Amino acid sequence: MTTKEKADELVGKFELVERPFNKRSNLKIHMHKGHTVECALICVDEIIRNQKECDPSDQSYYYMGEQKYWQEVKEEINKLK
The domain spans of the chain are 3-79
**So what's the pLDDT on residue 2?**
96
> Residues 21-39: pLDDT tens digits?
898 999 999 999 999 999 9
Q: How far apart are CA 46 and CA 51, in angstroms?
A: 8
Distance CA 36, CA 13 (A): 8
**Could you give the count of Cα atoms lying within 13 Å of 80 in the half-sphere of its Cβ?**
26
- Pick 46 or 60 by higher pLDDT: 46
Taking 70 as the threshold, does the pLDDT of residue 63 lie above it? no
pTM above 0.75, yes or no: yes
- Higher confidence at residue 3 or residue 56? 3
**Per-residue pLDDT at 61 exceeds 60:** no
Q: What is the pLDDT of residue 8?
A: 97
Going by C-alpha positions, the residue among 6, 24, 12 that lies closest to residue 74 is 6
